[in-house]
Chain A
Amino acid sequence: MFHKKFKSRFVAVAILSTLVGLQSCKPKTAATAVSGDAAQKVYVAPGQHDEFYAFVSGGFSGQVSVYGIPSGRLFKVLPVFSADPESGYGYSEESRNMLMTSHGYIPWGDEHHLSFSQTNGEYDGRWLFANENNTPRVARIDLKTFHTTEIIEIPNSAGNHSSPFITDNSEYVVAGTRFSVPFDEDEKDIPISSYADKFSGAISFISVNPESGRMDVAFQLKTPPVNYDLSHTGKGPSSGWFFFSTYNTEKAYTLLEVNSSQRDKDFILAVNWKKAEEYVKAGKARKVKANYAHNIMDEHSFTVQSTIKDEVLVLDIKDLDGICYYIPCPKSPHGADVDPTGEYIVGSGKLASLIPVFSFQKMMKAIEEKNYEGTFDGVPVLKYDAVLHGEVKKPGLGPLHTEFDAHGNAYTSFFVSSEVVKWNVKTLEVIDRQPTFYSTGHLTVAGGDSKTPYGKYLVAWNKITKDRYLPTGPELCQSAQLFDITGDKMQLLLDFPTIGEPHYAVMIPASKIKDNQVRIFDITKNNHPFVAKGEGETKIVRNGNRVDIYMTLIRSHITPDNIEGIKVGDEVYFHVTNLEQDWDLPHGFTILGSTAAELLILPGETKTMKWMPKKTGIVPFYCTDFCSALHQEMQGYVRVSPAGSNTPLRYGTGDTAPKAE
């Protein structure tokens, strides 16, 4: 009897432990993960505002989306690296220049990471920087207008992944290349198998003008050929340093899946950028040939100037002392993240089963004592143990990225084991772990990469949703999961779907942005070369087969709305000015058969659409953005006559419309 009872107990324990085992492999269901007050915590009543803005990278959409947190409501998709028919970005004559590169016009980009401008290590709410991975570029978005106002291409780079991370006073935005390639100055038509000898890595430092935000590639570091993944600025004691994760220190150039995972450790590259800056000032940088585009929007004319630059300053890191040191880091690290105190550097080795935490103080001591384990292509490699603060043991599988709160805690995302893990930076003890649904890439704590984290919320950005939402055919949405991190345990509050692939995101208190919003563009300051400041300035100018139409919009008519004398083969430019001066009153414009997208014109703005009429006939145009009770009346006609005909140029609206001949 006793024996039997014992046996059944044993079986029960065995079943239970099997269940527990299963449980730990398979994430909990939503029902067990979400507790009762979650809905209340994310409910933002109608007419109320969210507490935080989240700017979320759009991945292969090329754009950046803007959400409210905690509600998870989508406010806007900002056009950055991809053309956007909804706003006319990349289609209007002005904005096409923003997408110019050394390869010509490119309508698409792969947008991965974001950084807010910082002052003293804190978000200052002025600008948002975004990177483009495929054709290496960095964009600056003005947070007063939410417009992309500048894009700069990165020379000698290929796959701008380790970007656009920023120094703690916005001195520089960095751009570390994913693919090492031969520099423009080197021989380029060479065998791929010469990777180890002839290829180079590039880390670019893009200066940011403290007043205007204007960017410039100040200098580049030419490095051994490896892959750069992510990076973050030092702060406080480590201010002046930047930390870049590297992988493929094996220098593989084929089947990287296997060949770049051979070594036990790759590196975090510590860069003393203040020192590099000194070398540049001392004239130690070489001026080399390069080829890259720089596009800048003028805020009063709304036009974009695109120029091609042909030079860049380069520092070879192997030739200069004191700029770069390698910290060994297991294995193929993704995140290189610095805690708010600036003392601890966390490497998240995406194939490692532990998280190493390095100490800045120890690093400085090791440098001082030349405590090297050797060199890598002429650059010193510090001893792992000399720099290590400690390791978080068995944290989970596939650590990717770590952010921080203001209470000494770190939060790391785990791709393979689909979870977020909270641990203490000093003691390295795991405090809590919560499942995510599924396969988290990056995570975001509000202010979590700055000197002053706001905490409160954490969002996990998931690559896979499987069964989480109503299915939408073979392609499913990717998603975000919001956690409350005010307690010891993280509490799952909300799932919401995202645009494209949410690689990375940054969150900022709404108060840092919402009161600085530009509501209208002052029409008196509009100096677009084709503006019409009032209906009295509307006109049509023909010059050969080029026709410039100076047009105005106001609720609810277009001036001129009757146009005659346009001919097949003409190159017609509609320069459309919105005369409204009130918030939230854009007008749209389009014409039948337009091969561009619509124009969305904000109050006080002028935008231009190019139109090449191909057929004789009467062609209507209209306002595309519902503006008033008489929106449906906001329309006009162009009479297109055959090529070579002599229909006179006549135009007007109402009393001034062309009369019967």
Chain B
Amino acid sequence: MDLTLPQIKYIKDMKKIILIGFAALIYACGGPQTSNNEAENAGTTTEQTTTTKDVSEYDPHRGEGKFKDVELGALDLAKAEKGKAIYDMKCQSCHKLTDERLVGPGWHGVTQRRTPAWLLNFITNPDAMLDKDPELQAQLEICLVRMPNQNVADEEAYALVEFMRKNDGVK
């Protein structure tokens, strides 16, 4: 029998349907109970941030978020300058530039303690990391205030990290 393209597609679709059906079955057995108001009314909206399924997958060096392996070269002074302005508006209330703790820890030396990816992820995705990072959880026991999500854009986060590096004497 000559299988024309649409039929092939049909067979593929059948496979898909079977798979979906199987998944639905699993979901129906193990998934959360929903009321008569279906998933479209679900309270939790899709978050922009990525979230790993469980704590064991968490990478304490990279943190969690959209940044992976970030290599930074020589200090970008212009960027660091922008970072200072963001620091003044959104961070300074809680972080000093020395090693003294205010609400959160002082920033002195932070670029030696953390990788750039970890810093960028924590700035842009604090809630997910506060739930998983063992060191952050230990710190929360001391500070008692969760670092707020200050709605820092990716570009701004890079600028803040440049400013942190400048603060740590990177040339």
- Known A-B contacts: A49-B41, A628-B144. Give 19 more (CB < 8 A): A43-B35, A43-B36, A44-B37, A45-B33, A47-B42, A48-B35, A48-B43, A49-B42, A51-B37, A510-B41, A522-B151, A555-B103, A579-B90, A579-B93, A580-B150, A581-B148, A585-B148, A630-B144, A654-B102
Interface with B: A188-196, A210-218, A531-539, which one?
A531-539
Do B88 and A536 touch (CB < 8 A)? Answer: yes
Q: Report whether over half of chain A's contact residues are helix, strand or loop; otherwise say mixed.
A: loop
For A579, what are the chain B residues with a Cβ–Cβ distance below 8 Å?
89-90, 93
For B89, what are the chain A residues with a Cβ–Cβ distance below 8 Å?
523-524, 533-534, 579
B123 to chain A, nearest CB (A): 12
Alpha-carbon gap, A552 to B145, bound state (A): 17
Please give the number of chain B residues whose Cβ is less than 8 angstroms from any Cβ of chain A in the complex: 27
A67 to chain B, nearest CB (A): 15
Do B148 and A49 touch (CB < 8 A)? Answer: no
Do A45 and B34 touch (CB < 8 A)? Answer: yes
Partner of A523, one of B35, B90, B92: B90
Do A534 and B93 touch (CB < 8 A)? Answer: yes
For B151, what are the chain A residues with a Cβ–Cβ distance below 8 Å?
520, 522, 581-582
With both beta carbons as reference points, the residue of chain A lying nearest to B40 in the complex is identified as A511
For B92, what are the chain A residues with a Cβ–Cβ distance below 8 Å?
534-536
Q: Report whether over half of chain B's contact residues are helix, strand or loop; otherwise say mixed.
A: loop
The reply to whether the CB of A40 lies closer than 8 angstroms to some CB of chain B is yes
Interface residues of A (CB under 8 A from B): 40-41, 43-45, 47-51, 510-511, 515, 520, 522-524, 533-537, 552, 554-557, 559, 579-582, 585, 628-630, 654
For A47, what are the chain B residues with a Cβ–Cβ distance below 8 Å?
42-44
Interface residues of B (CB under 8 A from A): 33-37, 40-45, 88-90, 92-94, 102-103, 144-146, 148-152
For A629, what are the chain B residues with a Cβ–Cβ distance below 8 Å?
144-145
A and B contact pairs by CB, cutoff 8 A, 7 listed: A41-B36, A49-B42, A51-B41, A520-B151, A537-B88, A555-B148, A654-B102
Do B93 and A557 touch (CB < 8 A)? Answer: yes
A-B pairs, top 5 by smallest CB distance, nearest first, are A45-B35, A581-B151, A534-B89, A581-B150, A582-B149
B42 to chain A, nearest CB (A): 6
Alpha-carbon gap, A526 to B36, bound state (A): 43
Do B37 and A580 touch (CB < 8 A)? Answer: no
Alpha-carbon gap, A524 to B33, bound state (A): 42
With both beta carbons as reference points, the residue of chain A lying nearest to B94 in the complex is identified as A554
Number of A-B contacts (CB under 8 A): 86
For A522, what are the chain B residues with a Cβ–Cβ distance below 8 Å?
151
B32 to chain A, nearest CB (A): 9
Alpha-carbon gap, A511 to B40, bound state (A): 9
Alpha-carbon gap, A169 to B152, bound state (A): 38
Alpha-carbon gap, A520 to B145, bound state (A): 20
Alpha-carbon gap, A537 to B149, bound state (A): 21
With both beta carbons as reference points, the residue of chain A lying nearest to B156 in the complex is identified as A524
Do B150 and A582 touch (CB < 8 A)? Answer: yes
B141 to chain A, nearest CB (A): 11
Alpha-carbon gap, A49 to B40, bound state (A): 9
Residue in B34, B42, B151 with the greatest tally of chain A CB atoms within 10 Å: B151
B49 to chain A, nearest CB (A): 13
With both beta carbons as reference points, the residue of chain A lying nearest to B87 in the complex is identified as A534
For A630, what are the chain B residues with a Cβ–Cβ distance below 8 Å?
144-145
B33 to chain A, nearest CB (A): 7
Alpha-carbon gap, A520 to B149, bound state (A): 11
With both beta carbons as reference points, the residue of chain B lying nearest to A42 in the complex is identified as B36
Do B93 and A552 touch (CB < 8 A)? Answer: yes
Do B93 and A49 touch (CB < 8 A)? Answer: no
Alpha-carbon gap, A629 to B45, bound state (A): 26
A70 to chain B, nearest CB (A): 8
With both beta carbons as reference points, the residue of chain B lying nearest to A585 in the complex is identified as B148
Do A581 and B41 touch (CB < 8 A)? Answer: no
